[in-house]
Amino acid sequence: MKTLILLRHAKSGWDDHGARDFDRRLNPKGERAARTMGQHMRDRGLSWDHAIASPAARVVETLEQVSAGYGRTIEPEWDRRAYLASASMLLDLIHAAPAEADTLLMSGHNPGLEELVLMLVPDRAGDGLRDEVETKFPTASLAVMTCDGENWGAIIAGKCSLTVFTRPRDLDPGLGPDAD
């Protein structure tokens, strides 16, 4: 059994209209949401053995803020292939994760992260968490799945269970979409 933690980058801004998408930075609300999510992860006792992340500025800053809230530095394997990756590319990165890692933290972008959850977790009637992900996987949201398999290469579509889905607004209503 393996545990996969997916964390979408926090809310970024378009203040510098000349900046490349890759270089977009978090806005103040995104910084606060990421710190809040880090505190939540700590309070839930979530930990990881290995991390993989997109090297985009907004992901780097998200992990810095999550680390500040959590109280533990996240030192991911920065992988350019995770930048705006499809669900199948993200699954390829998961398959290559170190065998000795039981829990993997992956941080990146949508729509890939949302599509990865929907690929790995079967669509069953009454699965409210999966339905919430299908509705929207907002910025700074966290999904935790347990997956059948003794190694990361064995993780396949439809063989995971979604155990946690937390949006920033679930922790602080001021972080919701209407609170901009």
Domain range for 139 is 2-179
pLDDT tens by residue, 52-61: 999 999 999 9
Long-range contacts (CB closer than 8 Å, 24 or more residues apart) made by 17-26: 21/56, 22/56, 22/57, 22/83, 23/56, 23/57, 24/56, 24/57, 24/58, 25/57, 25/58, 25/61, 26/58, 26/61, 26/62, 26/65
On whether the CB atoms of residues 8 and 63 are closer than 8 A, the answer is no
Q: What is residue 13's predicted lDDT score, i.e. its pLDDT?
A: 85
Q: What is residue 15's predicted lDDT score, i.e. its pLDDT?
A: 72
Q: What is the total count of domains within the chain?
A: 1
Contact partners, residue 125, CB within 8 Å, separation at least 6: none
For the domain that residue 8 is a member of, what is the CATH number? 3.40.50.1240
Q: What is residue 74's predicted lDDT score, i.e. its pLDDT?
A: 97
SS3 content of the chain, % helix, strand, coil (to 5): 40, 20, 40
Is 58 among the annotated ligand-binding positions?
A: yes
Q: What is residue 179's predicted lDDT score, i.e. its pLDDT?
A: 52
Predicted structure pTM score: 0.96
Q: What is residue 109's predicted lDDT score, i.e. its pLDDT?
A: 98
Give start and end residues of each alpha helix (H) in the chain: 28-44, 57-70, 87-95, 112-120, 128-135, 168-171
pLDDT tens by residue, 9-59: 999 987 766 679 999 999 999 999 999 999 999 999 999 999 999 999 999
- φ, ψ for residue 172 (rounded to 5)? -155, 110
**Positions in the chain short of pLDDT 70:** 16-18, 178-180
